[in-house]
Amino acid sequence: MIYGIMGAMPEEVDQLCARLQDVTCETYAGVDYHRGTLHGRPVVVCCAGMGKANAASTVQVLCTKYGIGRLIFSGVAGNMTGKIGIGDVCVGETVFYHDAELDMLAQSAPFLTEYHGDPALVQAALHACSACGVKAIAGRIATGDTFVGDCATKAAIAEKCHPDCVEMEGAAVSQIAARNGVPCVVLRAMSDNADESGYEVLVVKDFSIAEYVRTATEIVVRMIETL
């Protein structure tokens, strides 16, 4: 069993790459794929880049070129719920697009309007969060190609689809994993509240997300250790 582990930004995978043993790295279609072992299990770790197209193409490479059998996407997101707060985690029980014509997408494989995290991987993620002392929920993750950083956009998305958090890759990752029959889970640590303050901190001031990524990294390492 080869595990694929993805992030959208270098910060989201650098800490994981530093923990790999017996590492080799090759670049394919502009993405660096780090092959190695984590707790003795073979893994391929990569940074896909931000947005749905980057995420989808990278998942297909992981499936076709590297033959992964399970996929974990780990990163940060904007919080959309009062059930969790900054630094807490949303495990993607349900993942969907907030900016797409879902009925049209569902006319081709995997013929779904929303995607569900693999139950075993969702439970493994929740157990790993608990073991790491991190508050987590199995929730709803909404994906779109626009950074959500203002209250008006946040309110419109909340009214439309009631997500627990919002980000830019998860549904694309889940869609292509489902097309390939690869069990998948999306993990998101809350880095901001998807409003003007989040835009100011994460975009304008180019804030380091290393602290939030550290949480997600520990969870993924624990998952790989116990799966």
Question: Is 164 annotated in the active site?
Answer: no
Give residue 46's pLDDT. 97
Could you report the per-residue pLDDT of 132-143, keeping only the tens digit for each? Answer: 999 999 999 999
Annotated catalytic residue within 118, 164, 169, 192 = 192
Catalytically annotated residue among 11, 12, 93, 118: 12
Domains assigned to the chain: 3-226 (3.40.50.1580)
Average pLDDT, the chain: 92
**Mean pLDDT, residues 75-98 taken together:** 94
The 10s digit of each residue's pLDDT in 24-46 is 999 999 999 999 999 999 999 99
Of the candidate ranges 4-18, 135-149, 151-165, 200-214, the one whose mean pLDDT is the lowest: 200-214
Contact in structure between 61 and 31 (CB atoms under 8 Å):
yes
Work out the pLDDT band at 87, boundaries 50, 70, 90: confident
Q: Are 73 and 173 in contact (CB under 8 A)?
A: yes
At residue 133, what is the residue type? G
Q: Which pLDDT score, from 0 to 100, does residue 201 have? A: 60
Residue 69 has pLDDT above 60, yes or no: yes
Percent of the chain with pLDDT over 90: 78
Instruction: Please write the tens of the pLDDT for every residue from 112-130.
Output: 999 999 999 999 999 999 9
167 noted as active-site residue: no
Q: Does 206 have pLDDT greater than 80? A: no
Tell me, yes or no, if the pTM score tops 0.85.
Answer: yes
